[in-house]
C-alpha cells in the first residue's frame, strides 16, 4: 500500500513548513480554511521556506510556504505581493503578456495580471476533485459497457476488479469534497503560445488554453495506471513537453500535450525535477550544404543523488549517482550550457552534459536545502530552506 502524499520537493525542511502551518492554523483559531486565508505580510518573508522562482524583468519572482509570493532583487530590496491563500506555493511561471501563474498545495492555482501585485484564485482542489469525479465516473460507465460485451471469464473477472476499484475511487473523491482538498500541485509550465500545464500528486495533470482562467484534467492521457506522483513538468523553446515523477516515471509530448509517450529512464526511484537546454547546431548535409539542427539536452534528477543525462531529447539516457548520495531538488542551465543542480545540505552540482568527467560538487556555507536555482553571469540565485540568497561564481 502506498504511503499518503508528503510534499517532497524539499523534504528536509518540511518540518519547518509544518510548524509554520500549525502556527498559522493557531492564529486562525483552527477554524479558517487556508485556501481562504490571505498570506500574512511578514518582514521575514524572504527568509522563509521558498520553493520555486522565475526571472521577472530583471528581478526574480519567488514563491513558497504560507502562500508567500515575493518579487526579489537583492537581500535588501524585495517586495511581498498580496496572496489570497496561506497554503504552500510550489511553482510559478510568467506568460508572454506578462501575466503570472502560480500553483500550490490543496490544488490551488493563482493568477496575477502583468501590471498587478495582487493575486487571485482561479482554481482550487475543490474544482480538481469535481473534475476527478467526472473523469472516474466516465471511466466507470465505459468499463460497464465493456463488461457487457466481454465473454471470456478470466478477462471478465479482471474487469470486474477494475470496476470495483473505480467505485472506490469515486467514493474517495466524494468524501474529499466533504473533508477538503488534499492533492498538491507541484509544477507549472507554458509553451510559447501560452498553453499551460500543471502537474502534481497522484498523477494529476491539468492544462489551460485560455492563459490560466479555466483548467481541464488530462491525466488520463498518460500511461500512469497507478497514479504515481508527477513532480515536474517543463516546456522547451521548441515546445517539447517533459514530465518526471515518482518511480522513475517520465513522459514526453511533441504535439503541445495532445499525446504523450513514455520515456524509459534508467532509474526507478523518485525524480524531483527535469531541465532542458536546446542548442542550434550547424550541420552539413550529404550534398555538402549547411543546415541548422536543434539538439535538446535533458537532465533529470532526484532521490539520493541520482541524475540522468540525455543528449537527444530523451531517446537515450546516461545514469550517474553522486558519491555523497544527497537528493537533488532543483536545477537550471546557464547561458553557456552548463547544468546546475541543487539539493539538500547546501549541495550545488555543476557540469557540462556532454562531459560528466568534469562534474563539480560544491557546498553552500549555509548548509540549506535548496529547491530552486537561477544562473546569472557571475552569481547563482538560490531559494530554499532559509529563503533566497545570491552566491558569486565563476563559470
The reported pTM is 0.89
Same domain (yes/no): 44, 111:
yes
Sign of CA dihedral 309, 251, 106, 92: positive
Return the closest-CA partner of residue 313 out of 248, 246, 237, 232: 237
Residue 264 in grid coordinates: 524509459
145 part of a folded domain: yes
Query: Listing from the earlier edge strand, what are the strands of the sheet with 89-94?
Result: 89-94, 100-104, 109-112, 120-123
Q: Which residues contact 284 (CB under 8 A, 6 or more apart)?
A: 290, 291
Sheet holding 339-343, edge to edge: 328-333, 339-343, 347-352, 355-363
Mean predicted confidence (pLDDT) in 12-38: 52
Domain range spanning residue 58?
A: 38-119
Query: What is the structure's pLDDT at 287?
Result: 65
Tens digit of pLDDT for each residue in 193-203?
Answer: 999 999 999 99
Q: What is the tens place of the pLDDT at every residue in 86-116?
A: 999 999 999 999 999 999 999 999 999 999 9
Q: Which residue has the higher pLDDT, 18 or 328?
A: 328
pLDDT confidence of residue 377: 84
181 has pLDDT over 70 = yes
Q: Is the dihedral of CA 271, 277, 278, 279 positive or negative?
A: negative
Question: Which residues face 74 on adjacent strands?
Answer: 77
Q: Is the pLDDT of residue 142 over 80?
A: yes
- Helix H or strand E encompassing 178: helix 153-179
Answer whether residue 182 shows pLDDT above 80.
Answer: yes
Question: Confidence band (pLDDT; 50, 70, 90) for 6?
Answer: very low
Q: 351-377 as b/e, with b when 16 or more CB fall inside 10 Å?
A: bbbeeeeebeeeebebebbbbbbbbee
Total domains, the chain: 3
pLDDT of residue 209: 98
The answer on 376 and 302 residing in a single domain is: yes
Q: 317 and 386: one domain?
A: yes
Q: Report residue 367's pLDDT band, with 50, 70 and 90 as the boundaries.
A: very high
User: What's the confidence (pLDDT) of residue 290?
Assistant: 53
88 within some domain:
yes
Task: Please state the rounded mean pLDDT for residues 345-373.
Answer: 94
Amino acid at each position: 500500500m502506498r504511503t499518503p502524499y508528503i510534499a517532497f520537493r524539499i523534504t528536509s525542511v518540511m518540518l519547518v513548513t509544518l510548524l509554520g502551518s500549525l502556527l498559522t492554523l493557531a492564529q486562525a483559531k483552527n477554524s479558517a480554511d487556508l485556501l481562504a486565508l490571505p498570506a500574512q505580510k511578514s518582514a521575514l518573508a524572504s527568509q522563509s521556506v521558498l520553493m520555486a522562482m522565475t526571472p521577472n524583468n530583471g528581478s526574480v519572482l519567488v514563491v513558497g510556504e504560507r502562500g508567500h509570493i515575493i518579487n526579489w532583487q537583492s537581500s535588501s530590496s524585495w517586495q511581498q505581493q498580496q496572496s489570497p491563500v496561506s497554503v504552500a506555493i510550489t511553482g510559478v511561471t510568467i506568460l508572454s503578456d506578462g501575466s503570472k501563474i502560480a500553483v500550490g498545495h490543496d490544488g490551488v492555482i493563482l493568477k496575477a495580471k502583468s501590471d498587478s501585485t495582487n493575486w487571485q484564485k482561479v482554481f482550487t482542489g475543490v474544482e480538481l476533485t469535481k473534475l476527478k469525479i467526472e473523469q472516474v465516473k466516465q471511466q466507470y460507465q465505459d468499463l460497464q459497457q465493456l463488461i457487457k460485451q466481454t465473454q471470456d471469464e478470466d478477462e471478465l473477472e479482471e474487469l470486474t476488479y477494475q470496476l470495483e476499484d473505480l467505485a472506490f475511487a469515486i467514493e474517495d473523491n466524494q468524501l474529499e469534497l466533504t473533508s477538503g482538498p488534499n492533492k498538491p500541485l507541484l509544477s507549472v509550465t507554458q509553451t510559447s503560445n501560452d498553453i499551460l500545464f500543471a502537474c502534481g500528486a497522484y498523477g494529476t495533470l491539468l492544462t489551460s488554453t485560455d492563459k490560466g482562467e479555466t483548467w481541464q484534467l488530462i491525466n488520463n492521457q498518460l500511461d500512469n495506471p497507478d497514479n504515481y506522483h508527477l513532480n515536474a513538468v517543463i516546456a522547451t523553446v521548441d515546445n517539447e513537453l517533459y514530465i518526471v515523477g515518482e518511480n522513475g516515471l517520465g513522459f514526453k509530448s511533441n504535439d503541445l500535450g495532445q499525446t504523450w509517450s513514455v520515456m524509459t529512464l534508467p532509474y526507478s526511484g523518485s525524480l524531483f525535477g527535469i531541465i532542458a537546454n536546446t542548442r542550434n547546431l550547424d550541420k552539413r548535409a550529404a550534398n555538402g550544404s549547411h543546415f541548422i539542427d536543434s539538439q535538446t539536452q535533458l537532465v533529470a534528477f532526484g532521490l539520493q543523488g541520482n541524475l540522468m543525462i540525455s543528449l537527444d531529447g530523451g531517446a537515450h539516457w546516461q545514469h550517474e549517482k553522486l558519491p555523497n548520495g544527497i537528493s537533488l531538488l532543483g536545477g537550471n542551465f546557464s547561458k553557456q550550457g552548463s547544468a546546475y543542480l541543487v539539493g539538500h545540505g547546501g549541495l550545488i552540482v555543476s557540469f557540462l552534459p556532454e562531459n560528466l568527467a568534469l562534474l563539480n560538487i560544491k557546498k553552500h556555507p549555509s548548509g540549506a536545502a535548496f529547491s530552486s536555482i537561477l544562473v546569472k553571469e557571475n552569481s547563482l540565485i538560490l531559494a530554499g530552506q532559509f529563503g533566497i540568497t545570491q552566491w558569486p561564481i565563476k563559470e
